[in-house]
């Protein structure tokens, strides 16, 4: 008996790409249709540090690296879900368009409060 695990083949006919663009970083996760992670990366993992992680260029570099990894596993079609207010949003989508993927859906899933927490009391001067 060998102790090596057998890699299950995943169905990557339609993958889901989640982009979380914060003010400090851009996180990219690619999952299969079921939601199991296939590849992931970030601006920080692409080699950027500090304030440069938050730039659009860092986001597009990170997207290129993650998409290349997923395409080697057989990804062709993708649904894109983008979240957050960061500067890497537009650059990440532009990089995905240029990567040759067949993008079916682009959805913004940024959480928006319907009323939010109670505001602070009024200032008395």
Q: Which residues of 22-41 are buried (b: 16+ CB within 10 A; e: fewer)?
A: beebbbbbbbbeeeeebbbb
pLDDT for the residue 13: 76
Count CA within 13 A, CB hemisphere, residue 95: 22
CB 86 within 8 A of CB 55: no
Distance, CA of 72 to CA of 10 (rounded, Å):
12
| pTM for the full predicted model | 0.82
Domains in the chain with CATH codes: 14-108 (3.30.420.80)
Q: What is the pLDDT along the chain (125 residues), one digit of tens a residue?
A: 556 665 566 667 789 999 999 999 999 999 998 889 999 999 999 999 999 999 999 999 999 999 999 888 888 889 999 999 988 899 999 999 998 888 999 999 999 989 999 999 999 98
Distance, CA of 113 to CA of 48 (rounded, Å):
32
C-alpha pair distances (Å), 88 with each of 68, 72, 78, 123: 18, 24, 19, 37
98 Ramachandran zone, left/alpha/beta (phi>0; psi -120 to 50): alpha
Residue with tokens 């997207």: 63
């Amino acid at each position: 008996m060998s102790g090596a695990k057998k890699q299950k083949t995943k169905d990557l006919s339609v993958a889901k790409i989640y982009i979380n663009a914060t003010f400090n970083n851009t996180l990219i996760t690619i999952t299969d249709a079921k939601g199991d992670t296939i590849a992931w990366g970030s601006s920080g993992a692409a080699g950027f540090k500090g304030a440069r992680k938050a730039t659009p260029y860092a986001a597009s570099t990170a997207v290129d690296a993650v998409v290349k990894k997923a395409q080697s596993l057989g990804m062709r079609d993708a649904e894109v879900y983008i979240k957050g207010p960061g500067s890497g949003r537009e650059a990440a989508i532009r990089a995905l368009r240029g990567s040759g993927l067949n993008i079916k859906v682009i959805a913004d899933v940024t959480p928006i409060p319907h009323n939010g927490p109670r505001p602070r009391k009024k200032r008395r001067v």
